[in-house]
Each structure stands twice: as C-alpha cells, then as structure tokens.
Copies of this chain bind each other. A is one copy, B any other.
Amino acid sequence: MSLETPRVSSSAEEYLLTLYRLETSNERAGSSQLAKMFGVKAPSVTGMLRRLGERGWVRYQRYRPPELTDEGRRIAVRLVRRHRLLETFLVQFLDYSWDEVHEEVQQLEHTVSEKLLERIDIKLGRPRYDPHGDPIPGQDGRLPSHRLIPLTRLQEGGRAQVSRVDNRSRHLLTVLGEIGAYPGTSVTRLRTRRNGQLSLRVGRREIQLDGDIARLIWVKPNRAPVAMQARERGM
C-alpha cells in the first residue's frame, strides 16, 4: 500500500537491485554468491535477507534462493531507472566513458532525490535507453521493449544495428569503445574465418571478435535476419 517512500537503506536497495538483475537474466544466486558480489561474508547476507523478508520485499525461506516480492521488484525497478538515468547523464554531460560510469553511479543512485532525477531526465530529453542500450524504466516502472538478437545469431552477410551491449564486461566496453561501436552503429557480419571467431565490418574497418564476447552484443537486424530464432531462450 504505502505510497510514502518507505525508507530503504542503501544496502537494502543494493540487494534488491542485484536480486532484480539476477531475476531478469534468469540466474539465481545463493548467499555465498551474493556475498561475493557485495564484498561481505555469507552470514551478513543471511541476515539481510531475513530483514528484507520481514519488510515484505523478498520471499525468503532458509536454504532456498530468495525471490523478490512485487513490492521489492517495484523498488528495484525504481532504482534501475535512477541508475540508468544517472549513467546517461554522466556520459552525456560530464564526459564519463561508458566503462567507468557504473562505479560512480553505484554510490549516487541511493542519494539522488526525485527532484534532481526529474531535472536530469528533462535535461536529457527523457531518454528511453542508456549509453549501453539498456532500456530506462519510466516513472510508472514500465520498460520500453525491443526485440533484439545476439550478434552471434546474425546470419553471415547480414546487416544490423548495434542496440545493446552487456555492461558486465568492462573489457568488452573498452574494446567496443575503441572501435566506436556504440548503440546506433551499423555493422555487417562477414564470413566467419575460423571457429569461435566472428568477423564484422564497422564503418570501413574490419574486426574479429571471440564468440563469447560477441554473444554480449545485441543487435537489431535490418531485415530477414536469422536462421533459427526458436531456440533463442535456450542460451
């Protein structure tokens, strides 16, 4: 019920956000894995999950991986919005590069007021995607959706637009930054040279990428793109 902002601590917010990210990528993590992500020890995680459970933000039973409640998810989505708007702002207005922006925002996202966030949103022209191509939830929590395929599923000779780059690999971001392959860039997939490697034309340059790197790049094909779309969920 509470439309009042119900005082969520920074740590609690960080937990909910992480749980949400895991949920959307269909992963699940136990206490010790979460512990690693937060840089704390496992018992701290158990304790926090218990408290989050008491507040109704997480469904938690001992020895089971935790799940967000609707309320918890709502808080998390609000945070995703903050996070992505702030990233966009830092990149566009303060010359941050897309591979250094995450850490900074990690701090800020818990502190920035609704008012400031709104001004930033306005200043940016209410963007719908962040610098990595991730969709920015609206104030109502709705996400703009787009149908994308991983670069690895683009047929040889196919042309597509880079639309989203998984931001969990700084290495990938740096590499793509160097060749200027930001969301919006057009690429053409060339004949594959050797196994595992994948060739691309970006502008007038030609580059090779490892398969497991290429899988982190999502593209919007220009037309009739893909052989076996049915199996996409599988991976």
Contacts and interface: CB of A to CB of B under 8 A. Distances in A.
Interface of A: 90, 93-96, 104, 107-108, 110-113, 115-116, 119-120, 123
A124 to B, nearest CB: 11
Contacts of A90: 116
A111 B86 CA distance: 14
Copy tally for this chain in the complex stands at 2
A123 B94 contact: yes
Given A108-B108, A108-B111, A108-B116, 11 more contacts: A93-B123, A94-B116, A94-B123, A95-B119, A95-B123, A96-B119, A104-B115, A104-B116, A108-B112, A110-B111, A111-B111
A94 B119 contact: yes
B96 A107 contact: no
A108 B117 CA distance: 12
Nearest to A118: B94
Nearest to A109: B111
A94 B108 CA distance: 16
A115 B96 CA distance: 10
A175 B106 CA distance: 38
B113 A94 contact: no
Nearest to A119: B94
Contacts of A110: 111
Contact of A107 (B93, B113, B120): B113
A113 B107 CA distance: 8
Nearest to A105: B116
Contacts of A108: 108, 111-112, 116
